Structure 1
Amino acid sequence: MDNPNSTGHPFGSQPANVRRRLQCGRSRSRLAFFASPSASTSASCSCSPVLVCLEVVGMQQKNLQSRKSTERMPNSGSLALLNEGADEVVQNSGRGSRRRSPVWNHFEELTNEGKAICIHCRSKLAYHQGLGISHLRNHITTACKELPPDIDRSSIFPKGVSSLVVRSSVLDPKLVGDFMTKFWITANISFKKIENGFFKRMMILAHPGLEVHDRQTLKRDCMSVYQEEKKKIADGFSNIDSCVSFTSDMWMSAQNLGYICLTAHFVDEEFNLHKHLINFKQVPHPHNADAIHSTIMDCLHEWDLSNRAFAFTLDNATSNDGAIQKLKDTLWRHMPFQGSDLHVRCTTHILNLIVQDGMEIIQNIIEPVRNVIKHISSSNSRLQIFNTIPHQFNLRPKRGFTLDVPTRWNSTYDMLEEALEYKDALTHYANLQNIQGPNLEQWNLADRVCKFLKNFADATKVFSQHNSPSSHRYVEEVWGIRELLFDEKNISDKFLKVLCDDMKSKFDKYWDEPNKILLVASLLDPRYKLVFLKYCLMKVYGEEVADSKANAALIWFKAYYSRYESMPQRSYQSNVSSSPEVGGSASPLSFLSGKRKLGLEFALFRHQRRPQCSRRPEVDTYLDDPLIPSREGEEFDVLGWWKRNQDQYPVLAKMSRDFLAIPLSIVASESTFNTASIMIDKYRNSLSSEMVEALICAKDWLKEYLSDDEDDDDKTFF
């Protein structure tokens, strides 16, 4: 019987042991991207597996059809194009082709869950037959933290050649059509492009039996993919026992139609952070608190998540404040402490407001730099003239300079940082062209401003990371900004003092009183706990006030702990026993024997005896245990730490899954400081709201199957 995993990913390269077979046959130009049913086997080597190369030069369609019946390969199967550099090895036997990749030496497929589990760290990653394994390969080579030290990551997967290998002479039109649909979804291409004559000819040449559909059929196919992927996401929600946090943002179309972009964030049983864009719903006019509240509630009911909501991260719009209050009134029965901590204000938007207050002051410094760069960027001839200068200062020529956008202060920071590296060359160019450029004093001020703004740019990256937790770093980053604004060194600098003074008012407005739910998340960082919070408070308020404020945070922390302690037991104990009757017919222990059974029975006995033992509360033990040492600049895997220590702190580990899933920002870092409205691209404007939602959500879900190298599309939809 064939291996159930034999379909593989549709893109890839040959393993090293079949390279020489590619050299068999004629040396004329060949197309190895798709295999035609009519491709000749006589010109190929007789080695197994046969690698089919479709001759393109001089080949005519009628000849292909006439030879179709006599030259078809035996044991034909579905399309199986291998991952580039991914090491797929094709094995052939009398029963058909089988796939074997070294990645499966490190993963086990969980067919019922649609996932693959790493045998080293037990992390679960999405996997379905017919989809890619590059993300599995990347996990082993870069991300797995439990890979045995005797395994060399760089030599796990042999490097193959870059062309594509076809394992069968017959393509599966359904599989090709499925991937064509997914390509259309993820590539932001207009539907009408599928009716392009040259595209149709290319596909027919690649596979004469393939039927290329029209745009209406493509739309239906896209909707089918959306429904299939949506069911997988919904099944995933039904299998987790943690709460879900949400981010919500408003998008606009060219027709001034508003859409709510709702994203769900949660941590699963394996302590992996997940992020899914679950809805892109049109909001009825006017876009006020009632409309936003109603739309969000429709989304929550659609996914059956209204009783599992934990926190909502939104920006500072007045309509959002009203919507949050209405959400509290609606969801309070299902939320801890009646939803008093439901609202998390987007930290990157607050940071943007703080920085924008200071940008007006430095315009007289920015303008001369902007003038020179604008002059150089206005024509290719001027750029060529400039590029005769850098070598005089041991600098490389430039392909172009970054010109800032007034509504994005971080682009101004990027412009200054780049210009400062070439300041001597830019000054020389300004003198040659007789244009007004920055003088020495202005360059010095620009340097100080750039170093000052770098702190905000670094904080932005922390706040807006969505692939790893950020909520536990709230106190660290916010107090870092406060230290910057109140630093005596900056205050003694007259220019920076004016800049800081303008920013302080906004800082005090939004961050003078920290968010309680984020304070709790910060205490769940084992490097800091309560000690770091108390230290930060002492620097500002003195010891007495600091103790009072720290104790208030501790009371809130313990209140949440007590609530989680009273909850029904979760799946973190399911690996011990799912039945109170040891040895009973329903107990998984009945299938074990010997030492393994004894060990699991003892673990269950120890757990059952735990409430009878008089010992300190878990929360007190955690807070009194030594802090985890950390090094500056070293990445700390906070979820990994809680996963490893969940047996010691089971209740706090449950808490960590909910609190560490709270996002600090509603947008990714590359679009954080764009103060213009987020716009839907031109290809989506003319579509129905249902189709817009299907395309944008499905695009987000399908990217899960691509590696970072494969996902080279724009990171946003605008």
Structure 2
Amino acid sequence: MVKAMRDADLPSLPCMAHTLQLAVADGVLSQRSIADIIAYGRRIVGHFKHSQLAYSRLQNIQKQLGQPIKRLQQDVPTRWNSTVNMLQSLMEQKRALGAYGADYDLPSMFTGSQWKLVENMISLLAPFEELTHQISSSTASAADVIPSIRALTRLLEKAAETDHGVKTSKAALLEAVQNRFSDIQSKRLYTIATVLDPRYKDRYFSDALKPQIRGLLSDVLATGQEQQNGEASLEATGSEPPEKVPRAGSLNAMYAELLDEDGEHGGGDISSSTSSQMNLYLSEPVIPRSGQPLVFWRDNKSRFPALAQAAQDYLCAPCTSVDSERLFSTAGNIVDEKRNKLSAKNAEMLIFLKKNLPLMLNKYALREMALLISIPLLSFSLTHDFHAMHFKCM
């Protein structure tokens, strides 16, 4: 796929989630002490996965200790966050596993120092898991890459109480992240998308780079100046997905710290020239990270018409291939062994509805409809419409 983009002379960006996977594998999972702990954890989980009797005994112990009945999670080697989930499930069942090991045989067991290392490693990788969830959203764009990596590297550079036993891994992880994402600020698409995102603007760039970035943005606006005279409407985006508020944590604190260090929030006069639009836009404070960039540009396109047009072009690029891979899974769920006679056209229509119908439906309108119509009648109507559509597509 990369070669096809290169041969077609089209700009291409790597998947940020896959690059993070490689960075974690290089920096942490390759460490001998960490690799040994992961191997022990896989043997412990495998012991219960392959024995229903062992799981029954563990559940009885969980009941006796007053803990919720939970199953241990098996990791997938190609997904580092599944390894973190496996270690978290082991950590939650530490007491139950200790009681089980006292009465029954286990293929391996952590020592006290290894349990502490597991806890510290989970704390070390928690920001990576949080960031992976954020960039895997369908609304994440190329604008999220530079601020996220700056916040992540800032966090890894800070000393923490949980660094005991993982300092070498933390340093190796920082080096891996810096190497894997060393050229992001030199890529035009990343830079312009970040500046055009009202949550970030130029606040995550060094003072030495800001004049160069403003010049680059001026070139983009000058190139698209002819298009600004036409109708550059952002209303085609329709209803925006629900606002996703990131979980509170130390990674978010790094975003705020970088914004506080910038401290460049002034005012300005509105002017029709692209240069004045850019200066006014960059002088205003950024919107909260929980805000929606496309909603901002829809509401402010009359103030910044040139910037709004450029935002349409640059904020549509995703930063990961996660959503397209989810679309492949959707296709596999629609066309299966029991429904393999669907034509390509009908299958495409069903996939389109599955992915886009939630964005087009107004949840508040549906809620008002539910108040006016009885629930049984509404259920019957929806079921009847679904079967009619299903029969027509078949």
Same fold (TM > 0.5): yes
Amino acid at match of 1:554: R
Query: What residue is the counterpart of 2:375 in the other structure?
Result: none
Amino acid at match of 1:658: D
Aligned to 2:13, the other structure's residue is in SS state strand
Amino acid at match of 1:322: K
Q: Relative to 1, partners in 2 of residues 1:470 and 1:568: Cα closer, same or farther, differing over 3 Å?
A: closer
Match of 2:103 among 432, 441, 453: 432
Aligned to 2:60, the other structure's residue is in SS state coil
Aligned to 2:203, the other structure's residue is in SS state helix
Report Cα offsets for 1:452-502 as digits up to 9, x if no partner.
222111111222211x24333222211122224433449964524235315
Match of 2:353 among 687, 702, 708: 702
1:564 matched to 2:224? The reply is yes
Alpha-carbon distance in structure 2 between the residues aligned to 1:669 and 1:378: 34
Query: What residue is the counterpart of 1:657 in the other structure?
Result: 312
Alpha-carbon distance in structure 1 between the residues aligned to 2:121 and 2:163: 14
Structure with bigger helix share is: 2
Amino acid at match of 1:414: N
Report deviation, 1:425.
Answer: 1.0
Report deviation, 1:356.
Answer: 1.6
Match of 1:413 among 71, 84, 100: 84
Query: What residue is the counterpart of 1:183 in the other structure?
Result: none
Amino acid at match of 1:441: S
Q: Is the 8 A contact 2:201 2:286 kept in 1?
A: no
Aligned to 1:619, the other structure's residue is in SS state helix
Alpha-carbon distance in structure 2 between the residues aligned to 1:464 and 1:558: 31
Alpha-carbon distance in structure 1 between the residues aligned to 2:226 and 2:300: 20
Query: What residue is the counterpart of 2:5 in the other structure?
Result: 324
1:511 matched to 2:182? The reply is yes
Report 1:9-28 matches (<5 A): none
Match of 1:635 among 280, 283, 290: 290
Report deviation, 1:693.
Answer: 5.2
Query: What residue is the counterpart of 1:619 in the other structure?
Result: 278
Alpha-carbon distance in structure 2 between the residues aligned to 1:490 and 1:482: 17
Q: Is the 8 A contact 1:469 1:661 kept in 2?
A: no
Q: Relative to 1, partners in 2 of residues 1:505 and 1:413: Cα closer, same or farther, differing over 3 Å?
A: closer
Alpha-carbon distance in structure 1 between the residues aligned to 2:311 and 2:171: 35
Q: Relative to 1, partners in 2 of residues 1:490 and 1:482: Cα closer, same or farther, differing over 3 Å?
A: farther
Q: Greater relative contact order (Cα 8 A, min sep 6): structure 1 or 2?
A: 2
1:350 matched to 2:19? The reply is yes
Alpha-carbon distance in structure 2 between the residues aligned to 1:343 and 1:406: 27
Q: Is the 8 A contact 1:471 1:521 kept in 2?
A: yes
Alpha-carbon distance in structure 2 between the residues aligned to 1:573 and 1:665: 26
Aligned to 1:394, the other structure's residue is in SS state coil
Query: What residue is the counterpart of 1:645 in the other structure?
Result: 300
Report 1:306-385 matches (<5 A): 320-328=1-9, 342-357=11-26, 358-361=28-31, 362-385=34-57
Amino acid at match of 2:20: L
Alpha-carbon distance in structure 2 between the residues aligned to 1:461 and 1:502: 19
Report deviation, 1:376.
Answer: 2.0
1:448 matched to 2:120? The reply is yes
Alpha-carbon distance in structure 1 between the residues aligned to 2:234 and 2:60: 70
Q: Relative to 1, partners in 2 of residues 1:574 and 1:428: Cα closer, same or farther, differing over 3 Å?
A: closer
Q: Relative to 1, partners in 2 of residues 1:573 and 1:429: Cα closer, same or farther, differing over 3 Å?
A: closer
Aligned to 1:561, the other structure's residue is in SS state helix
Alpha-carbon distance in structure 2 between the residues aligned to 1:669 and 1:409: 20
Q: Is the 8 A contact 1:460 1:669 kept in 2?
A: no
Q: Is the 8 A contact 2:228 2:306 kept in 1?
A: no
Identity %: 21
Report 1:177-188 matches (<5 A): none
Structure with bigger strand share is: 1
Q: Is the 8 A contact 2:120 2:164 kept in 1?
A: no
Report deviation, 1:563.
Answer: 1.4
Aligned to 1:511, the other structure's residue is in SS state coil
Alpha-carbon distance in structure 1 between the residues aligned to 2:214 and 2:144: 17
Report deviation, 1:692.
Answer: 8.2
Alpha-carbon distance in structure 1 between the residues aligned to 2:333 and 2:303: 50
Report deviation, 1:322.
Answer: 2.9
Aligned to 1:519, the other structure's residue is in SS state helix
Q: Relative to 1, partners in 2 of residues 1:692 and 1:474: Cα closer, same or farther, differing over 3 Å?
A: farther
Amino acid at match of 2:285: L
Aligned to 2:53, the other structure's residue is in SS state helix
Higher gyration radius (CA): 1
Q: Relative to 1, partners in 2 of residues 1:429 and 1:440: Cα closer, same or farther, differing over 3 Å?
A: same
What CA RMSD, in Å, does the superposition of the two structures yield over aligned residues? 3.8
Report Cα offsets for 1:102-133 as digits up to 9, x if no partner.
xxxxxxxxxxxxxxxxxxxxxxxxxxxxxxxx
Aligned to 1:345, the other structure's residue is in SS state coil
Report deviation, 1:413.
Answer: 1.2
Report Cα offsets for 1:248-271 as digits up to 9, x if no partner.
xxxxxxxxxxxxxxxxxxxxxxxx
Alpha-carbon distance in structure 2 between the residues aligned to 1:553 and 1:471: 16
Q: Is the 8 A contact 1:462 1:470 kept in 2?
A: no
Report Cα offsets for 1:214-243 as digits up to 9, x if no partner.
xxxxxxxxxxxxxxxxxxxxxxxxxxxxxx
Q: Is the 8 A contact 1:461 1:669 kept in 2?
A: no
Alpha-carbon distance in structure 2 between the residues aligned to 1:568 and 1:499: 48
Alpha-carbon distance in structure 2 between the residues aligned to 1:374 and 1:437: 13
Match of 2:147 among 462, 476, 489: 476
Aligned to 2:74, the other structure's residue is in SS state coil
Alpha-carbon distance in structure 1 between the residues aligned to 2:105 and 2:345: 55
